[in-house]
Amino acid sequence: MTQVESPKLGRKRDHSRDPEILDAALEVLAECGYDGMTVEMVAARAKAGKATLYRRWASKNELVIDAVACMKRADLEHLPDTGTLRGDLVGLIKPRTIEEAEKKLQIMAGLSSMLSKSPELAQAIEQAIIRPRAEANKTLLRRAIERGEIASDCDLETLALITPAMTAYRVLVLQKPVDRPFLLSIIDGVLLPAVGIRVDSFERTPAG
């Protein structure tokens, strides 16, 4: 019987440089905008070969979506556990320098430009931007249910989407920055009342 040789496996792709490349993509996107950005520029910034990037990301669109998704995941790596739903939600608001806030707005403006040219990417962008924050919110809401802080029959899917959906609209459509007062207004004026928690102005000041 003739022995069939096993097919030789190709060399595994090295993903160790992905974080550097994705950071470079965000920097170029913030500096040049989506229209001015090229894969070649990202490769040069990351000191990587252009072929390396194209083997990993087939298009500029894919590279941008992956870079923004990575940025979002980093923002949600450690979920706060303060003992109250409001404390946890406020704990998700990370302090930002003016420069970081401006960079983020420029990045999201670039994403908006990409979406206007390629509306078919809406689902991919939703998975990259809105879904991670919604999943984080869902975790915090489940904790609140377990503590008996809110009712167990809350519509978690809808409630978890309130903050990321309103944030995405503000950035992608209105092209306005997302700052702490805006996020607190959603938490205190929309999300908490929706689950039956009332926050008056006296309570907001020390926690916010």
| pLDDT tens digits, one per residue of 59-107 | 999 999 888 888 877 767 788 999 999 999 999 887 665 567 677 778 8
Tens of pLDDT, residues 102-115: 777 788 778 778 87
Answer positive or negative: Cα dihedral of 139, 140, 144, 147. positive
- What are the percentages of helix, strand and coil residues in the chain, rounded to 5? 70, 0, 30
Is residue 79 within 8 A of residue 88, CB to CB? The reply is yes
Name which of 180, 185, 186, 182 is nearest 160 in CA terms.
186
Is residue 111 within 8 A of residue 64, CB to CB? The reply is yes
| pLDDT range class, residue 138, cuts 50, 70, 90 | very high
For residue 138, give the 3-state DSSP assignment: helix
Lookup: tokens for 19? 């974080």
Name which of 32, 122, 104 is nearest 68 in CA terms.
104
CB atoms within 10 A of CB 191: 20
Give yes or no for residue 14 having a pLDDT over 90: no
Name which of 63, 62, 61, 60 is nearest 20 in CA terms.
63
* Overall pTM > 0.75: no
Lowest mean pLDDT among 126-130, 152-156, 162-166: 126-130
CB atoms within 10 A of CB 184: 18
How far, in Å, CA of 103 to CA of 163, rounded? 21
How far, in Å, CA of 201 to CA of 158, rounded? 26
Top pLDDT among 199 and 135 is at 135
- Beta strands in 62-192, from DSSP E residues, in sequence order: none
Give yes or no for residue 200 having a pLDDT over 90: no
Name which of 93, 171, 99, 95 is nearest 133 in CA terms.
93
